[in-house]
């Protein structure tokens, strides 16, 4: 096989692996792709560059995501600018795919911040009411071990903030993709970029709207996490707390209808009201979720207890006919089955953030 043809095949397969999130590192993706196309050891010269793989990822993104990718990129840049203005004291610099335009489904917004310690940034985020997590990652680089401080938060989009010392604000970072100086933008440069790329956009109006929007996934997370402390009757729920049960139901629902975002949300959130009003958890859930779920998801949650009565043969004939008239009747019965089956001890389930990320990705993929 000619070297150019082999490089291209490896680049396309590596891009597929990374686009579908099977691999997150360029080198691992390229080596796995190389093993697919050649039983012999592939020479380094036959491996595509990171830039070649990135270009193929963008082809996948354009084919699969279509026009929504352009809209997401614009919204991500506005969201980045909004957060950068909130954290302007830390000299923020937008980097990565949101800066260069190479976003794809599930891309983070990556920002460098310059502060004497990570706690100062964390406190600033707390004052803005932005939930976040601090990660300290040790990496072997240039023969020495370095510790990198990251802050992960999810507002409308997932952010990764990397904290550097104040004296590094003017340091020229190198891109792992191009090997050249990393493309980045401070606040004025990002404002200019948005004005140039989206001349019809009223930036200040969009920023004001961004500040008022509540990310629905932050709401979901805030309602789910407390369920870990809400215990249930061992007679009906031997699995234990409500969160563990909810995650089991989500896993079962995903096995059945992996692309139905509204159904999966209902499976994950159907019992959040138990952390609010244990005497009427259905109404408690609907009130807490108002404005953040669709009418179809709300319908599933509203009627999931009636679906149990239907399965047990205790539901009245009028209520049964009302449910049967819905086009989502079969899905409601499926939700009931998942609810009853999601009561096992020792079953492996996703973390809350992983479940929410899966649903978020569905929303971005299918609008």
Note whether 7 and 46 are within 8 A (CB): yes
CA distance 273 to 289: 9
Condensed to tens digits (0 to 9), the pLDDT of residues 10-23 reads 888 888 888 777 88
How many helices (H) does the chain have, and how many strands (E)?
Answer: 16, 5
Q: Which residue has the higher pLDDT, 318 or 156?
A: 318
Residue bearing tokens 């360029």: 26
- Please give the DSSP secondary-structure letter assigned to residue 181: B
pLDDT reported for residue 132: 85
Average pLDDT on 131-157 reads: 80
Q: What is the pLDDT of residues 245-287, one digit of tens each?
A: 999 999 999 999 999 999 999 999 999 998 888 889 999 899 9
Q: Looking at the domain that runs over 216-366, which CATH code has it been given? A: 1.10.3210.10
**What are the residue boundaries of the structural domains of the chain, listed by start?**
3-65, 67-212, 216-366
What's the pLDDT tens digit per position in 67-80? 777 888 899 999 99
Residue 237 phi, psi (nearest 5): -135, 75
Q: Are 296 and 289 in contact (CB under 8 A)?
A: no
Q: How many CB atoms lie within 10 A of CB 115?
A: 20
In terms of Cα–Cα distance, which of 262, 242, 285 is closest to 359?
262
Residue 103: phi, psi to the nearest 5?
-80, 155
* Residue 288 dihedral angles phi and psi, to the nearest 5°: -70, -30
Q: What is the pLDDT of residues 160-193, one digit of tens each?
A: 999 998 888 888 888 777 778 889 999 999 999 9
What's the confidence (pLDDT) of residue 171?
Answer: 87
Tens-digit pLDDT profile for residues 96-114: 889 988 887 778 899 999 9
CATH number for the 67-212 domain, one of 2.40.420, 1.10.3470, 3.40.50, 3.30.460?
Answer: 3.30.460
Is the overall model pTM greater than 0.85, yes or no?
Answer: no
CA atoms of 114 and 66, how far apart (whole Å): 36
DSSP string, 123-170: HHHHHTT--EEEEEEEEEETTEEEEEEEEEEESSSEEEEEEE-GGGTT
- Residue where the block lists tokens 């729920």: 237
- What pLDDT shows up at residue 1? 45
In the predicted structure, residue 210 carries a pLDDT above the cut 80: no
Choose between 322 and 211: higher pLDDT: 322
Burial of 55 (0-12, 13-18, 19+ CB in 10 A): middle
Measure the CA–CA gap between 235 and 145, rounded to whole angstroms: 52
Tell me the pLDDT band of 212, cut-offs 50, 70 and 90: low
- Contact between 116 and 100 (Cβ < 8 Å): no
């Amino acid at each position: 096989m000619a070297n150019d043809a082999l490089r291209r095949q490896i680049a396309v397969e590596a891009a597929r692996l990374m686009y579908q999130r099977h691999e997150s590192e360029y080198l691992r993706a390229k080596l796995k792709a190389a093993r697919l196309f050649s039983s012999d050891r592939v020479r380094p010269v036959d491996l595509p560059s990171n830039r070649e793989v990135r270009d193929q990822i963008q082809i996948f993104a354009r084919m699969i995501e279509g026009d929504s990718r352009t809209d997401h990129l614009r919204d991500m840049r506005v969201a980045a600018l909004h957060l950068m203005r909130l954290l302007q004291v830390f000299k923020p610099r937008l980097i990565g795919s949101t800066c260069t335009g190479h976003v794809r489904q599930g891309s983070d917004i990556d920002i460098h911040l310059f502060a004497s310690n990570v706690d100062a940034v964390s406190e600033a985020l707390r004052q803005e009411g932005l939930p976040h997590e601090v990660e300290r990652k040790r990496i072997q680089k240039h023969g020495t071990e370095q510790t990198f401080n990251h802050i992960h938060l999810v507002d409308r989009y997932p952010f990764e903030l990397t904290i550097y010392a104040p004296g590094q604000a003017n340091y020229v970072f190198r891109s792992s993709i191009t090997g050249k100086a990393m493309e980045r933008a401070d606040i004025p440069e990002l404002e200019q970029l948005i004005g140039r790329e989206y001349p019809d956009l009223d930036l200040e109006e969009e920023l004001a709207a961004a500040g008022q929007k509540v990310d629905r996934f932050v709401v979901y997370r805030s309602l789910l996490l407390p369920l870990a402390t809400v215990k249930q009757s061992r007679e009906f729920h031997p699995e234990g707390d409500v969160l563990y049960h909810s995650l089991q139901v989500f896993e079962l629902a995903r096995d059945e209808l992996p692309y139905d975002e509204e159904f999966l949300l209902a499976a994950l959130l159907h019992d959040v009201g138990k952390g609010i009003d244990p005497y009427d958890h259905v109404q408690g859930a609907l009130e807490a979720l108002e404005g953040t779920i669709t009418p179809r998801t709300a319908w599933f949650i509203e009627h999931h207890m009636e679906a149990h009565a239907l399965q047990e043969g205790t539901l009245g004939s009028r209520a049964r006919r009302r449910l049967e008239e819905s086009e989502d009747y079969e899905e409601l019965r499926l939700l009931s089955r998942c609810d009853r089956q999601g009561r096992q001890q020792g079953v492996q389930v996703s973390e809350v953030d992983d479940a929410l990320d899966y649903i978020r990705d569905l929303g971005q993929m299918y609008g």
